[in-house]
Amino acid sequence: MSEELEMPWFEVGVVYDYFGYVNRRAALRAIRVGTFPCPTYILSGRKRVVDRQVFHDFFRQKGPKQVS
């Protein structure tokens, strides 16, 4: 079987820009102070991740941006 398994999460370092943060450090700071817009959890002691379904649901609920 040659298809890859899809990971059930995204590392914060991969998706921080979708949430409007300029870098991973800024996103981790927001997580630490409780202002990151969706829940995260820690894997393997240091890897901070966002559940893939939570990520998709968050942006599905936000809907498209209005351009004026």
Percent of the chain with pLDDT over 90: 72
- Give the pLDDT mean for 39-49: 93
Residue 35 resides in a domain: yes
Q: Is residue 1 part of a domain?
A: no
Asked whether residue 60 is domain-assigned, the answer is no
In a domain, 37, yes or no: yes
Between CA 7 and CA 31, with CA 14 as vertex, the angle to 5 degrees is 100
Stated pTM of the model: 0.80
Confidence of residue 68 (pLDDT cuts 50, 70, 90): low
Average of pLDDT values for 48-65? 90
Summarize the confidence of residues 38-61 as an average pLDDT: 94
Considering the domain boundaries, does residue 64 fall inside one?
no
**3 is a domain residue:** no
Place of tokens 């991969």: 14
Residue 67 lies in a domain: no
3-state secondary structure of 51: strand
* Structural domains counted in the chain: 1
Tens-place pLDDT, residues 16-41? 999 999 999 999 999 999 999 999 99
Do the domain assignments include residue 55? no
The candidate with the shortest Cα–Cα distance to 37, out of 57, 8, 65, is 57
Q: Report in angstroms the alpha-carbon separations of 23 from 13, 14, 16, 18.
A: 8, 10, 7, 11
